[in-house]
Every structure is written in structure tokens, then in C-alpha cells.
Structure 1
Amino acid sequence: MRCLLLILALLIPLGTASNAQSRELLGVGRLFSNDYLGDGRDRYQSGSYARSYVRGPSDWDGTPQEFGTIREYRLRSGIIASDGIATAPGDRPYVGMLSFGVHSHFGHDLFRGSVGLDVTAIGPQTGVSRFQKRAHDTLGLAQVRYTNRQLEDDFFIGMTGEVAENVPIAPGITARPFAELLVGPEDIARFGADVVLGSNITSDVLIRDVVTGHLYRGTENPDLSGFSLVFGADMAAVADSVYFPEDSGVIPTDRRGRVRAGMHWQSESDTSLFYGLTYLSPEFEGQPEGQITGSLKLNFNF
């Protein structure tokens, strides 16, 4: 309990830092990712869901703001699964996780940055493994295996920071190189870039998905109807990961790569969707191959 109180005390300053302006909900971002939408193998980074509530000044005009003005309240769940066809002793442990975090998005001119804190819970206490079993039974999918090897209940606090720059290349083409640092359940330094073609969604609050790296929209400018294609890649150095405890006998790789492509579409009536694919390189020694996961977002405004 003392640990939880400490975590909340660390989150509250960012979440409640006040200014004289009235605040309102500026947008809701969401992204569902699952390898059934990709290679269909139901393994490793099996599924995740992120939902972000972005709040800021009621008179916000979409321009970058100083730190603490635009705040994102992020909820995330995830399933990291063993390979259903592998022998359990040589495979990664099962992980069910839930997290809550508060992040600030800020910038100036073409520069963009974000910093935030997240509380992550793992283990049977999250109920994620039970939910996955029920979902598979209801949908008639393959039996969920090796949940008896899932990591035990625990809590972690983590910090995420990213810096990026929107670089106009040509009309309708914007490059966005970035660097990201994660410290917490996994300690990772990552460098990469995304390229946006079509409608310039870089004027929205863009949130980087933890697993795939896709940029999902926390706000949606109603004037940006049409298509946007986004291509991205990054490479990460991994210093530590609680998802591979020493007693599991599984050793994480010290390098990870991701390559992704996605399409955003928004109608004049503010209906929007996103679909993307991501290749994830192997995350542990002995993983025979990488995986392809799909990501989806549907947003209907009635």
C-alpha cells in the first residue's frame, strides 16, 4: 500500500498542475493491436489496447504548448504470450499487464516532446489472462496455453520521454525523426523516424504506441479530411526487462527493431479510422523469427 501511495504521489503533480485557464477534453485516442490482425499466430506480443484522454485549455487552437498545458491520461492493457506451438521451458513467460499514466505533450515551432509517468501492474491480479481465456472460448479460438507460467503479481513505476521534429520534405510529405527513452518495466533507448504522406496529421497530438510504435491521434483536427499514409522504422537498445526474469532461463536480446506502415482516414463528418501493420524483430534469444501484428482504430461521431 505504501508503494501505491508513493506512485500516486509521483503522478499527481503532473496530473493536477494548474493554470488559470479553463480546461476541457480535447480528444480521445485509441489503438487496438493484435497479431490476429497481422500474421494470425497468437504469440509473443499477442495483443494490446491503449486509450488516451487528452485535456487542455478550452481555447486551444492546435499550436504547440509549453510543458504541462496539454495532458494525456493513458490507460493500457497488454498480453505477452508464449508461442502456442513451442515447448514451454524454452519460451518466454506469459505476461498480463495493465497500466495507467499521465503524460504531457509540448513543443515549439517544429519541435515536439512528451514526458510522462506510468504505473504498471502485472500478474494474475490484473485479470488479463482470465479475460483472454474467456474471449478465446467465446470466439472459438485456440486454447490459451502456459498461463500457469505467467509472471507473478507486481507493480512498477516507469517514465517515458520522447523528442521529435516535424521536418517538411515536400508538399504533402513530412519526416518525423525521434528519440525515445523508457525506464521502468523495460529500460530502452530508441531512435527512429516516421514519414507522413497526405493530410498533415502532425498538427494533431500524436501518441506513440508502446508496442508497435505507430502514431495514433490523441486529437483530430476536423479540417484534415482525407488519407494519410505513415511509414516508420526504429531500432532500440535494451538494457533490462522485468518480462524476462533470470529464473525463467530466457535471455532477452539487447537489440530490437520495428518496421511499420499504416493508413489514417478521416471523413468530413469526423468519422475516422486507422489500420497498420508492424514487423517486430525477435525479443529473446531462441525466438525463431519475428512477428507481424496489426493495429486498428475506428471512430464514429454521430
Structure 2
Amino acid sequence: MAALSRRLGFGLGSAHGWGAFELDMTMKKALLAAACAALMVVGMAGGATAQERVTLGFARLFSNDALGDTRDRWRTGSYFVSRLRAPRWGGSVPGQFGELLEFRLRSEIIAPESLTRKNPADRRYAGVIAAGMATHFALGQAEATLGAELVFTGPQTGVGAFQREIHDLVGLDTPTVLGTQITNGVHPTLRGELGQTFVVSDRLTLRPFVEAQAGVESYVRVGGDLVLGQFGRGGLLVRDTVTGQRVEGVAGADLPGTSLTVGGDVARVLDSVYLPSGGQAELKDTRARLRAGFNWQGEKSEVFYGVTWLGEEYVDQPDSQVVGSLRLRVRF
């Protein structure tokens, strides 16, 4: 990882190296911010002149280790909600870039193994709030997603204070590690995904994908997802940032029944604001996830529950973890 950092110009071995790092990081943020702004402008303009956009649907997912291994650590909790808009939905992603837009707001709590006992070898607490926009479009036979977001970190997000208040309210231990959390920052982030869905049978689909991100965390990821059942058929599934679980953003046939989902991926990680170079926990350059989910679709309601195994993210992390994810939808 150190050699890779040096090749990227992020050396920290001297005052000169630190200056180079600061310059490179400033340039990187400026370029990412410009790219994010350009993407949002192009996305907002794309397809808007043809027809007025309407809301096609909403995606949301709550994830917490209280629904998994119950250990309250590391990638301990997250939530996202997305609104998807386009002039119409024809059963598949449109061919025009910028026609179908996803507006997303998400939050996340990243914690050390203990919220009350400081460990100099553990990762630091991080409160995260992010807002962004993405466009989904067809690229030949493949489905592409390209998006940008602004990721806010530190005490300014209020995430740490919120968790402290919740713990006090329900009688859990009061977090005492907030004073050493990742500092305030705004991190422009670009993300792209390219995947292709293969219909193996009436009840089985397979979708391999590749993903790349630059910004608050920079990585390249490859993986796949399998659906046994009708979940997502004729609709649009969108991916959760933390777990990789895919949930319905635009409804398809909505046929009553049950479906099972299975997926996994591995990433080559280049850098992370949450695990800074030279910090108390050293970033691992590979990261893996395995996930499974169960979706029940009724006449007027839907329940999705998933579990995700998250591999170690830093060198001395003593264990992996399991988080659970939940989505409920009720129509009256």
C-alpha cells in the first residue's frame, strides 16, 4: 500500500512529501468537485427538454448490525433513501444519458470496536451524511450508472451527537470516542457501475458488474448478484453503498410471491478518508462482501430483509462482521 501511495504521489515520509500530499489532495478534490458539478448539470439537463419528469418510485434501506451480529461496531449503521424521476418508465433503463435520474440522501455511522474504550490500534469514529445524484442508462446490452455526491464527515454532520442521544434514551453505554472522530470535511465523490442482466430462466437472473469510485473512498470493485424469483423483473433495482444489497427503486410487475437474492464482490481499495494514511489503523487494499436477501411481495405490501458479511477493512481488524438490512413498503 505504501508503494502504491508513492506511485500516486501521496508520500508522507518527509515535510516535502507532506506538502506534495496536500497539493495532490487539493488538486484531487478540486477536480472531483468540478466533475461532480458537471455531471449534475448534464444530468439535470439531459432529457429534460423532451418531457417533464415524473416520480417513478422511491428506494430506501435501513442497515444495522443490531439486525446482524448485534455487536455495535465498525460499519454499524446506515440508511439511504432515493427518489427516481424520468419522463416515463418503459420496463428497462432508457438509452439516453441523463433521462432517468436518481436523487439520493444517505447517512452512516462508522465506529471503532468499542464506543466506550479507546484503542489506539482501532479505526476512528466517523459520522457521514451524503447527498448526490446519479443517472441510469443503457450502454449497448449493459446497464450503466454514473453518479456524483458530496460526502460530509465529522461533528458537523451531527451523526455522533444523534447516536449519543439515542444511546442515552434507551439506556445503552454513552459513546466516549467522539472526540477522536474523523474531522469535518466535504468530499466530492464520483461513482460508476456497469452491469448486464442475464435471464437464465423464468425465475433466475444473473447480473455480473464492475464498479469504480473516486473520492471519500477510492476503489475498483467486481462482483455479481443472483435473483431467484420475480424480484426486480420489469423494474429497476438500485445498490446500497455500504452492503451492496439491491432494492427496488422502480416497481416492475409486482407479482405476489417470494424471491431470494445472493451476491458478492471484492474491491481493490486505493485510499479512504475513513482510514487515512498514517492514521492509527492501516487500510487494507482488498475488501470483500457477501450478501443474501429475502423479499416477500404481497398484494399491497412488501418486505425485504438481507444479511451482509463484510470482510476486514483495516490490517489489524480482529474480525469480520455481519449487518442486517430491512425495507418495508405498505400501500393503502
Q: Report the more deviating stretch, 135-144 or 183-192.
A: 135-144
Task: Confirm whether residue 49 of structure 1 aligns to residue 83 of structure 2.
Answer: no
Deviation at 1:107, TM superposition (A): 1.7
Higher strand fraction (1 or 2): 1
Deviation at 1:167, TM superposition (A): 0.9
1:266 maps to which of 297, 307, 322 = 297
Equivalent position amino acid for 2:189 in 1: G
In 1, the alpha carbon distance for the partners of 2:313 and 2:117 equals 15
Q: Classify the secondary structure of the residue corresponding to 2:174.
A: coil
- The superposition leaves residues 218-263 of structure 1 with CA deviations (integer Å, 9 ceiling, x where unpaired) of 1122533221110001111001111112342211100011000001
In 2, the alpha carbon distance for the partners of 1:128 and 1:159 equals 23
Q: CA separation of 1:92/1:27 partners in 2, compared to 1, >3 Å: closer, same or farther?
A: same
Deviation at 1:56, TM superposition (A): 0.7
In 1, the alpha carbon distance for the partners of 2:174 and 2:233 equals 41
In 1, the alpha carbon distance for the partners of 2:315 and 2:92 equals 44
Task: Identify the residue that residue 76 of structure 1 maps to in structure 2.
Answer: 106
Task: Confirm whether residue 300 of structure 1 aligns to residue 330 of structure 2.
Answer: yes
In 2, the alpha carbon distance for the partners of 1:261 and 1:124 equals 33
- The superposition leaves residues 155-206 of structure 1 with CA deviations (integer Å, 9 ceiling, x where unpaired) of 0101110011111222301111000001111111000111100114143221
Task: Identify the residue that residue 206 of structure 1 maps to in structure 2.
Answer: 237
Q: Classify the secondary structure of the residue corresponding to 1:136.
A: helix
Task: Confirm whether residue 24 of structure 1 aligns to residue 54 of structure 2.
Answer: yes
Task: Confirm whether residue 106 of structure 1 aligns to residue 144 of structure 2.
Answer: no
In 1, the alpha carbon distance for the partners of 2:187 and 2:254 equals 40
Equivalent position amino acid for 2:44 in 1: G
- The superposition leaves residues 8-31 of structure 1 with CA deviations (integer Å, 9 ceiling, x where unpaired) of 843333234323112111001000
In 2, the alpha carbon distance for the partners of 1:211 and 1:255 equals 15
In 1, the alpha carbon distance for the partners of 2:254 and 2:270 equals 42
Task: Identify the residue that residue 17 of structure 2 maps to in structure 1.
Answer: none
Deviation at 1:86, TM superposition (A): 5.9
Spell out structure 1 runs of 4+ moving beyond 6 A: none
Q: Is the 8 A contact 1:15 1:102 kept in 2?
A: no
Q: Classify the secondary structure of the residue corresponding to 1:49.
A: strand
Q: CA separation of 1:251/1:5 partners in 2, compared to 1, >3 Å: closer, same or farther?
A: closer
Task: Identify the residue that residue 199 of structure 2 maps to in structure 1.
Answer: 168
Q: CA separation of 1:5/1:86 partners in 2, compared to 1, >3 Å: closer, same or farther?
A: closer
- The superposition leaves residues 128-150 of structure 1 with CA deviations (integer Å, 9 ceiling, x where unpaired) of 00111111122223322311110
Q: Report the more deviating stretch, 104-113 or 27-36.
A: 104-113
Task: Identify the residue that residue 266 of structure 2 maps to in structure 1.
Answer: 235
Task: Confirm whether residue 40 of structure 1 aligns to residue 40 of structure 2.
Answer: no
Task: Identify the residue that residue 134 of structure 1 maps to in structure 2.
Answer: 165
Task: Confirm whether residue 280 of structure 1 aligns to residue 328 of structure 2.
Answer: no
Q: CA separation of 1:7/1:192 partners in 2, compared to 1, >3 Å: closer, same or farther?
A: closer
Equivalent position amino acid for 2:79 in 1: Y
In 2, the alpha carbon distance for the partners of 1:231 and 1:119 equals 30
Question: Quick check: which has more Rg, 1 or 2?
Answer: 2
Task: Confirm whether residue 244 of structure 1 aligns to residue 281 of structure 2.
Answer: no
Give the total of aligned pairs.
Answer: 298
Equivalent position amino acid for 1:62 in 2: G
- The superposition leaves residues 71-106 of structure 1 with CA deviations (integer Å, 9 ceiling, x where unpaired) of 100101001001117642111011001101110011
Q: TM-score, normalised by structure 1?
A: 0.93
In 2, the alpha carbon distance for the partners of 1:274 and 1:25 equals 22
In 2, the alpha carbon distance for the partners of 1:178 and 1:86 equals 40
**Structure 2: which 5+ runs fail to align?**
1-29
Task: Identify the residue that residue 154 of structure 1 maps to in structure 2.
Answer: 185
Deviation at 1:64, TM superposition (A): 2.2
In 2, the alpha carbon distance for the partners of 1:107 and 1:225 equals 28
Q: Identity rate of aligned residues, in percent?
A: 40
In 2, the alpha carbon distance for the partners of 1:202 and 1:214 equals 16
Q: CA separation of 1:278/1:8 partners in 2, compared to 1, >3 Å: closer, same or farther?
A: closer
In 1, the alpha carbon distance for the partners of 2:98 and 2:41 equals 12
1:89 maps to which of 115, 120, 135 = 120
Q: Classify the secondary structure of the residue corresponding to 2:250.
A: coil
Task: Identify the residue that residue 91 of structure 2 maps to in structure 1.
Answer: 62
